[in-house]
Amino acid sequence: MTIATVMVFGVAVFAGVAAITMTYPVRARSDLIAQADAASRRLTTMVDTRRFTGPIPPNDGVQMQQIVDSHGRVVASSAGLAGHPPLTRARPSGGDSRVSDRVCLPRGCLIVVGTSNRSTAYGPVVAYAAVREPFLLRSSFLPMLLFGFSGVLVALLAWGAWYGVGRVLAPVERIRYGLERISAVDLSLRIDVPRTRDEVAELATTVNDTLARLEDAVARHRRFVSDASHELRTPITALMVRLEAGLEERSEADWRAALDDVRRLSDIVQDLLLMARLDAGVTPVTERIELGRLVADEITRRSWRLPVTMEIEPGVHVSGNRLRLARLFTNLLSNADRYGDRGVRVCVRRMGDEAVLEVADDGPGIPEEMREQVFERFRRLDHTRSRDTGGSGLGLPIARDIARGHGGSLEVGDGPGARLILRLPLL
């Protein structure tokens, strides 16, 4: 940043200085010539009919004036040039009545302009007017001063850019150092947020929020691995015990129990695979689906412990994957069938621009403080229920992930029992 700033600003400054050093002397000499020319022309009109009886008075601020006849003799002059020879030997020629010259004397250089007049009281004469050339025009001091000042200015700019950018990037360096100290083993550390209330402070806040989400994701991942290992270990252990017993007794009941354990183990593995696909964000093939018909088909496809009452509004269409939406509904219905007492009610309707599916049972319900925890993986509300006979704790989390994957939501509603409400965008 410093090099780029110095390069751009330095080129602009030195180009400007070079332009000034080339144009200023030309413009200044042009102004001096114009001043001397005006004085010289006025002087020629002053001697048209009369002679000067003394020194020539100043004219337009010009102090040095001379009138030189055709023989090169000074016939009149200002007080400062009394007794001096002509300022210059240059005379108008080629039909031009005006001549300009630059004369350098020990005391400095002069810009001299002469104007000829053939009919004056002195006869044919040339009226000369001279102005002193400033010191800066005849020396290299001005370019040296300008280039030197520009160099100092560019150097100060370089220091300011280096210091300013360093001050701006110092908090970023502290953020980088703080992130370097954080490892996957301990994600609880956070970055110090500066009190500047600027973009760097917002960056630090965003980094801390990202670290918090990362820590939560890692914690959920570790908890998921632990719970999955425990869930898989239970049916595998039971299966081994039943197989060992079956080898000795060869009873049909033991073989059927072992088969049930294998099926439960298969269900858990299938749930884990589906959750892995959902976490990976794999996009399934979608189609136009009538939600009421899909619900009716899934209800009649299997036999349920409790009677199911349907309130289905026809013509409620959504866009989604048929297999995943069917899995979502069967998870909700299985949960209601497991915890209900006398029956389950299923309702499909449209509400504004949403399709709403409700699955309600008349069981003990879900406490309000636990309504979000039931969507955590491997979370069960009935802690006294055995893992061998209950669900795996993945049904509702899978259902919510599928709902979110379809741009919808799944939440627990109020009711005497458990009431799960699915909302999907209406097609």
What pLDDT, in 10s, does the model give residues 31-45? 888 999 999 999 988
CA distance 298 to 326: 7
More confident residue, 98 or 268: 98
User: Residue 306: is its pLDDT beyond 60?
Assistant: yes
Query: In DSSP terms, which residues pair with 344 in a beta bridge?
Result: 308, 361
CA distance 15 to 366: 79
User: Residue 292: is its pLDDT beyond 90?
Assistant: yes
How high is the pLDDT of residue 185? 61
Label residue 261 by pLDDT band (50, 70, 90): low
Arithmetic mean of pLDDT over the chain: 84
Strands of 344-351's sheet in order across: 308-312, 344-351, 354-361, 419-425, 409-413
List of E strands, 98-230? 98-105, 108-117, 125-132
User: For residue 358, what is the enclosing H or E element?
Assistant: strand 354-361
Label residue 168 by pLDDT band (50, 70, 90): confident
Tell me the one-letter amino acid at 34. Answer: A
Tell me the one-letter amino acid at 106. Answer: P
Label residue 319 by pLDDT band (50, 70, 90): very high
Task: For residues 244-273, give the mean pLDDT.
Answer: 67
Label residue 158 by pLDDT band (50, 70, 90): very high
Residues 411/421, Cβ–Cβ less than 8 Å: yes
Kindly state the tokens that stand for 299: 């209800």
Residues 278/387, Cβ–Cβ less than 8 Å: no
How high is the pLDDT of residue 258? 65
Residues 87/81, Cβ–Cβ less than 8 Å: yes
Question: Which residue bears the tokens 């100060």?
Answer: 156
Sign for the CA dihedral angle at 17, 23, 29, 32 comes to negative
How high is the pLDDT of residue 383? 41
